Homo-oligomer: A and B are copies of this chain.
Amino acid sequence: MSGQVIGVIGGTGNLGAAIAWRLARAGRTVLIGSRKAEAAQEKAAELGHGLVGMANADAAAQADLIIVTVPFSAQEATLADIKPHVVGKIVVDTTVPLVPPKVMRVQLPAEGSAAARAQGLLGEGVTMVSGFHNVAAHKLAQDIDVGCDVLVFGDDKAARAEVVALADAMGLRGLHAGALVNSAAAEAMTSILIFMNKTYKVDGAGIRITGELIPPAD
């Protein structure tokens, strides 16, 4: 894993920049992608820690593992843009299917989840994982305890474990949460958290799995 290159697509956005920053700070080699290379370069310079910025397609081409952090409305176009460059790689989709203006209302897509939609758009040649749906980006961008578990979904257990480890490296608690189809649970939960933020005046509500969790041996 030492030589692994991680590409964060949409890395100039709030979530992407925070993920890139935490991973780079943890010593990972991270490329920030954006629709415009120049914006990515500026963000990379701003964040430091050896981050490098470039166009999304270039970041996807040069990376071994790709994390997609774009709004639901941009998911389809973004995945089409990187599709030629991700075959045989792990793609981590973080998309939450929020449909403005009713973002406090669960509105899962026809495919069942944004992750399933991503798999459909990229095809079976990609090892799809999803996660990071519930973490408040503005908290992740600070050097604080985010107070939120990262539920990681995917049908390939080894790929899932890589992403769980990435969450751990970022100072979060990554947890295996089952098959890719289960992504619907975390994606839907984000609308609940936005509702909580408004109803209970929370500055970035999160979720924790309770109980005594014993990490699996493998």
A138–B176 CA distance with the chains assembled, in angstroms: 24
Please, which residues of chain B bring their CB within 8 A of the CB of A192?
151, 177-178, 182, 185-186
A148: interface (CB < 8 Å): yes
A193: interface (CB < 8 Å): yes
B193 in contact with A182 (CB, 8 Å): no
Which of B195, B199, B209, B214 is A207 in contact with, Cβ under 8 Å?
A: B209
Which of B179, B184, B201, B212 is A202 in contact with, Cβ under 8 Å?
A: B212
A105 in contact with B181 (CB, 8 Å): yes
B interface footprint on A39-50 (CB within 8 Å = 1, 0 otherwise)? 000000000000
Closest to A203 in B: B211
Residues of chain A at interface, number, CB under 8 A: 45
Please, which residues of chain B bring their CB within 8 A of the CB of A209?
193, 196, 202, 205-207
A-B complex: 8 closest residue pairs judged by Cβ atoms:
A185-B188, A200-B213, A202-B211, A205-B211, A178-B195, A147-B210, A206-B210, A201-B214
Could you jot down 23 A-B contacts, CB within 8 Å? A104-B178, A104-B179, A105-B182, A106-B112, A106-B182, A106-B185, A107-B181, A108-B112, A148-B210, A178-B191, A178-B192, A178-B195, A182-B195, A185-B188, A193-B209, A197-B211, A199-B216, A200-B214, A201-B214, A203-B211, A206-B210, A207-B209, A208-B210
